[in-house]
Each structure stands twice: as structure tokens, then as C-alpha cells.
Amino acid sequence: MKTGLRVIKNSISLMGGQGYGIMINLLATAIIARYLPLEVFGDYGFIVAVCMTFSVVTDMGTNQIMIREIARDKDRSLEIFSSGFMLNVLLSFLTVGLITVVIHLTTESQHIINATYILTIAILIYMLGDNFDIVFKAHEQMKYNAYSKIIEETMYIAAIITVVMLDLGLYGIFFAYLFAYTTRFIVGYLFTRSKFFKPQLKWNLPVMKWIFRESFPIGLSRIFRKTTFRIDTILLKLLRTRAEVGVFHGVYRFIIIAIFIPRDITDSVFPI
């Protein structure tokens, strides 16, 4: 397939999947905002801000490096995938540590702390699942990214509706994330195994160290960028009431969701 047509096809796939995801997220945000009391919605926004801010440490820019290297030499797909996955697992321990420290410094509510741990586990599963998306992008088969996204978001909105109907509260909302992200991980694994290679985890320290060195500057940039998107919610929690945090997060959430649109266009071109 010609390069131009391949870019168009991949862009449509990514934009289609992400467009569906945006609609589902907007709907889910509206449902959650209406379901939770304003103060609890403020807690929800604060927990999401903390977890999302530090989640980037698990990735630390490895995505771009892995896509680049697999696209260059597809025979090394399994080696790069395995090393990147193991590196992400190690970095996830640092992510958990940072989230734990911050949440204990900023709140004494055990309810909020427990909810944070649930979302932390969900996000770590999501970040590890990104490794399968990397394979699809590097092989320029981004229709699988779209399939994975559609399945994930469908499971997410179904879980959110179930939580509301059963009145499972804040814990239930974050278990909905956990359910959707775990489904995404499983789907990514199955696609990778059936269409590309059988994922295996091998400890290859030299390759892991090389990926980390290459990705570190990108990771730092991502940390600073992610912090600028989320730090205001965290600071607002320390300075104002829970209700005010809820009002702020409800509006700001729509802006955050829209940020993914230009990223998907870039992702479709990057492996070339």
C-alpha cells in the first residue's frame, strides 16, 4: 500500500476509535457528575488528577522509542516488546510509591485513599496495555488500536451504567475503570498473539537500559506536560472545598478529553 494511502487509512482508524472514545467519555462524565454528590464528584476529580499525573512515570516516554525501533526492524518486535514491558513493570513500582506518598500527604480520608488505590491498579493495567498498542502502531495495523478502543469504551460505559443502577458509589466508578482497562489488556494480548507474535516476558537488561536512556528526555517532557494539565486540580483540593473541586473538574474534563485528537493524527504518521 502506498505511504499516503496507508497514512490516511491509519488516521481514519485512530480517529474513528478515538472519536467513539470521546463520545463515550463525555457521556460517562455526564452520568458520573449527575450520579455523585458534588462533594464526592470533587473527590473523584482529585483522585483522577493525582493518578493521571503520576501515571506517566510508568511509560516514561518508552512508547515512542519502542514504536520507532519496531518499525525499523520488525524482526525485533518480540525483543523490544518484552524489554519495554518489563521496564514499564519496574517503573510502575515508582508510580505506586509516588501516588501513595502524595495521597497520604494531601488527605486523611481512608475512603479517598482506598479509592485511589483502586484507580492506581486500573491505570497501571492501562499503561501496561499500551505495549500492545505499540505493536499495532509500529506494524501500521492501527485498525486493531481502533477495535481495542471501541471494546474498551463499550465495556466502560456499560460498567458505569451498571454502577449507577446498583448504586455502588465512588468505589464502583473506579472498579468500572478497572474492568474496562483489564478488558483492553486482554483484547490487546489476544490481537498481538493472533496477528503478530506470542508475547513473552524476558529479562534483557542491556536492552531495557538502552530503551530507558533513549526515552528519558521524552519522559521528562511528558511529566512536565501532564503536571501542567492536572496540578491545578490538586492545588484546588488543598485550597478550596470539595464542591468547588467538583465544579472545576466537571468543566475541565471536557477540555482534557479533546486533547487526544491531534495526538492520534501524529501517531498515524510516526511509524513511517
Q: Which of 38-42, 180-184, 237-241 has the highest mean pLDDT?
A: 180-184
pLDDT at 230: 67
Task: State mean pLDDT over 50-75.
Answer: 88
Cβ atoms of residues 157 and 177 within 8 Å? no
pLDDT at 94: 92
pLDDT at 268: 47
Per residue in 157-197, pLDDT (tens digit) is 999 999 999 999 999 999 999 999 999 999 999 999 998 88
pLDDT bucket at 114, cuts 50 / 70 / 90? very high
pLDDT at 249: 59
Kindly tell me the burial class for residue 102, based on how many C-beta atoms sit within 10 Å of its own C-beta (0-12, 13-18, 19 or more).
middle
Q: What is d(CA 92, CA 94) in angstroms, rounded to the nearest whole number?
A: 5
Contacts of 215 (CB under 8 A, 6+ apart): 60, 61, 62, 64, 65
The pTM score is 0.87
Q: What is d(CA 48, CA 230) in angstroms, rounded to the nearest whole number?
A: 9
Q: Residues 158, 164, 166, 172: is their CA dihedral positive or negative?
A: positive
pLDDT at 39: 87
| Of residues 251, 207, 235, the one with CA closest to residue 65 | 207
pLDDT at 100: 93
pLDDT beyond 70 at 248: no
Cβ atoms of residues 222 and 70 within 8 Å? no
Q: Structurally, how many domains does the chain consist of? A: 1
| Of residues 129, 145, 130, the one with CA closest to residue 12 | 145
pLDDT bucket at 52, cuts 50 / 70 / 90? confident
The DSSP letter of residue 240 is: S
Percentage with pLDDT > 70 across the chain = 82
Cβ atoms of residues 176 and 160 within 8 Å? yes
CA contacts within 13 A on the Cβ side of 62 = 34
Residue whose grid cell is 465512588: 170
Structural domain span for residue 191: 3-269
pLDDT beyond 90 at 16: no
| Of residues 80, 107, 48, 72, the one with CA closest to residue 250 | 48
Greater confidence (10 vs 258) lies with 10
Task: State mean pLDDT over 147-166.
Answer: 95
All three cell numbers of 105: 500527604
